[in-house]
C-alpha cells in the first residue's frame, strides 16, 4: 500500500479491505456482557433506558 492510501479519513470505519478483515477478527474475539460479568468485569453502560425512548 502506498502512503496516500494509509491516511486516516474521518467518518470511515475502515479505509481498506485489510482493515475490514482486522476489525472482523477483533469483533469475533469480543466478549459479550454476560461473559464480562462472569469474569468480574463491568460491561459498558447502556446508552439510554427504555423509558428515555420517545
- Kindly provide the residue ranges of all beta strands, DSSP E only, lying in the chain, ordered along the sequence: none
Q: For residue range 13-42, list pLDDT tens digits in order.
A: 788 899 899 989 999 988 888 898 899 988
- pTM, entire model: 0.46
pLDDT for res 45: 80
Query: Could you please report the per-residue DSSP string of 17-49?
Result: HHHHHHHHHHHHT---HHHHHHTT-PPPPPSS-
pLDDT for res 44: 81
pLDDT for res 21: 93
Amino acid at each position: 500500500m502506498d502512503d496516500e492510501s494509509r491516511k486516516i479519513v474521518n467518518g470511515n470505519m475502515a479505509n481498506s479491505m485489510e482493515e475490514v478483515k482486522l476489525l472482523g477478527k477483533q469483533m469475533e474475539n469480543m466478549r459479550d456482557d454476560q461473559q464480562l460479568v462472569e469474569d468480574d468485569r463491568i460491561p459498558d453502560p447502556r446508552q439510554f433506558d427504555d423509558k428515555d425512548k420517545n
